[in-house]
Amino acid sequence: TISDDKKLPLGLHPVKLVVRGDHTTIDLYLTVLPPKSEAVIFSIDGSFTSSFSVSHHDPK
């Protein structure tokens, strides 16, 4: 659970992730949608969707 003072508003937000050890980074966009919104989640190489179930069903 995220506290109210830490929640981002609806919209598209730029995010930079930094690895603590070697300081490598990746830039991404995080989209905050209204509750009960339908969305499609995918990854370019398929690594996310092949190893994690977003629909509560085993994808394998």
pLDDT tens track for 12-60: 999 999 999 999 999 999 999 999 998 887 777 666 656 555 565 555 5
Whole-angstrom distance, CA of residue 21 vs CA of residue 42: 28
Q: Please tell me the predicted confidence (pLDDT) of residue 42.
A: 72
* pLDDT for the residue numbered 50: 61
Kindly list the distances between the CA atom of residue 52 and the CA atoms of 17, 21, 28, 29, in Å, as whole numbers in the listed order. 20, 25, 19, 20
> Residue 2: what pLDDT?
83
Q: What pTM, to 2 d.p., does this model score?
A: 0.59
